């Protein structure tokens, strides 16, 4: 029997299959990402409770209630604003690095797309920080992966590359799925549900930079630790996917150099993944068996379930990836 030549279609099928396999492996990078992601919400909620205490210390509930009363009574009074981000600060005493006492302040944003570096960019579009969206991509990675047309890893895949329409297309799709598109009043889904949990009525003008809220040094450091936790999750996501991409780069170099299908299948086997030659020939480029009625029926049935919990979505995604791995 003559050997089958390895064409572009077969290379892409095997590469896609190996990408799924590598993401399923329980590596240190993946475990770190999952640990940080699953523990983050508890940090978020505990830090938010501290933020509420600090804000209510500065703006007592009775004062806020009175301001609400006056605003409702007089049409020309507009003094209450909902906010999810705050400028917290404290007077830092002089030390070896500071000759004089210095007021230390940073911006802390509890929204899903809030910045993670302590810089207030609310009205400065040109200084938009990509990390603000990267946190949401990391936290809701499973939900985005399960949605057609989205790619939560796109910014990592495009790292150190010029911005291009391919990246923009996925970023736009991700932001629509998360609910960032259309402005604050049009938020949907994840962004709306997340942000509604982290809002307070404050006295003052619209922008949080107009309200400097004093806190203790210990409280300030707690906010810093929470903010750093957001950055650590983003970095864990980056390191995990980057490790997969680095492996895929080597794999694609190898696949490009092979002439025959059996050579590519041998490589896959040596990496720990056994792929059946017949399945590669019978599948399409997405890795699904074309003429398998069960696969098609399962995909159609899954489209009917619109209200699914986060836990069920993750389990469904894991099942899908497992079946995809078996069929490619």
CB atoms within 10 A of CB 320: 16
Cα distances (Å, whole numbers) of residue 147 to 35, 65, 133, 152, 170: 23, 43, 17, 10, 11
Q: 66: number of CA atoms within 13 Å, CB side?
A: 5
Q: Is the dihedral of CA 44, 47, 51, 52 positive or negative?
A: positive
Structure tokens at 4: 């089958």
Tens digit of pLDDT for each residue in 159-202?
999 989 999 999 999 999 999 875 555 445 799 899 999 999 88
Work out the angle between the directed axes of helices 189-196 and 165-178 (0-180°, nearest 10). Answer: 50
**Res. 110 pLDDT band, cuts 50 70 90:** very high
Contact 83, 202 (CB under 8 A): yes
**Using CA atoms, how far apart are residues 23 and 309, in angstroms rounded to an integer?**
23
Distance CA 242, CA 113 (A): 22
Over residues 50-76, mean pLDDT: 93
**Whole-prediction pTM value?**
0.79
Share of the chain above pLDDT 70, in %: 76
Give how far Cα 14 sits from Cα of 44, 134, 247, Å: 41, 29, 14
Question: What's the CA gap between 59 and 91, in Å, rounded?
Answer: 20
Decide if 267 contacts 251 (C-beta within 8 A). yes
3-state secondary structure 263-316: HHHHHHHHCCCCCCHHHHHHECCCCCECCCHHHHHHHHHHCCCCCCCHHHHHHH
Percent of the residues in the chain that have a pLDDT greater than 90, as a whole number: 60
How large is the average pLDDT for residues 295-305? Answer: 50
Query: What is the pLDDT at residue 53?
Result: 97
Q: What is the pLDDT of residue 174?
A: 94
Q: Which of 14-18, 38-42, 116-120, 276-280 bottoms out in mean pLDDT, i.e. has the lowest? A: 116-120
Residues with Cβ within 8 Å of residue 88, at least 6 apart in sequence: 51, 54, 105, 106, 108, 213, 214, 215, 219, 220, 223
The H or E element that residue 174 is part of is helix 165-178
DSSP-derived 3-state class of residue 11: helix
CB 231 within 8 A of CB 118: no
For residue 72, what are its two tokens? 């409702």
SS3 content of the chain, % helix, strand, coil (to 5): 60, 10, 30
């Amino acid at each position: 029997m003559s050997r089958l030549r390895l064409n572009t279609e077969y290379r892409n099928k095997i590469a896609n299959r190996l990408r799924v396999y590598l993401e399923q492996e329980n590596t240190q990078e993946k475990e770190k990402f999952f640990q940080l992601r699953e523990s983050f919400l508890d940090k978020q909620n505990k830090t938010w409770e501290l933020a509420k205490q600090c804000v209510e210390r500065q703006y007592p509930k009775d004062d806020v209630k009175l301001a609400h009363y006056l605003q409702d009574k007089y049409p020309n009074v507009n003094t209450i604003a909902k906010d999810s981000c705050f400028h917290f600060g404290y007077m830092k005493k002089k030390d070896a690095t500071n000759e004089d006492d210095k007021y230390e302040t940073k911006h802390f944003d509890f929204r899903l797309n809030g910045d993670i570096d302590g810089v207030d960019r609310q009205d400065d579009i040109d200084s938009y920080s990509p990390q603000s969206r990267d946190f949401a991509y990391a936290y809701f990675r499973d939900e985005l992966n399960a949605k057609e047309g989205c790619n939560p890893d796109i910014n990592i895949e495009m790292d150190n590359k010029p911005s291009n329409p391919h990246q923009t297309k996925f970023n736009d799709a991700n932001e629509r799925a998360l609910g960032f598109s259309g402005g604050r009043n049009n938020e949907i889904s994840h962004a709306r549900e997340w942000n509604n949990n982290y809002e307070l009525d404050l006295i003052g003008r619209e922008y949080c930079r107009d309200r400097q809220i004093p806190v203790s040094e210990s409280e300030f450091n707690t906010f810093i630790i929470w903010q750093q936790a957001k950055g650590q999750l983003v970095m864990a996501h980056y390191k995990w996917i980057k490790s997969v991409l680095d492996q895929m780069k080597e794999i694609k170099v190898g696949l490009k150099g092979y002439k025959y299908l059996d050579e590519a299948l041998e490589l896959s086997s040596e990496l720990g993944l056994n792929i059946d030659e017949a399945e590669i020939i019978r599948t399409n480029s997405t890795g699904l068996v074309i003429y398998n009625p069960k696969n098609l029926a399962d995909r159609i049935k899954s489209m009917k379930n619109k209200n699914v919990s986060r836990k069920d979505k993750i389990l469904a995604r894991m099942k899908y990836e497992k079946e995809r791995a078996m069929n490619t």
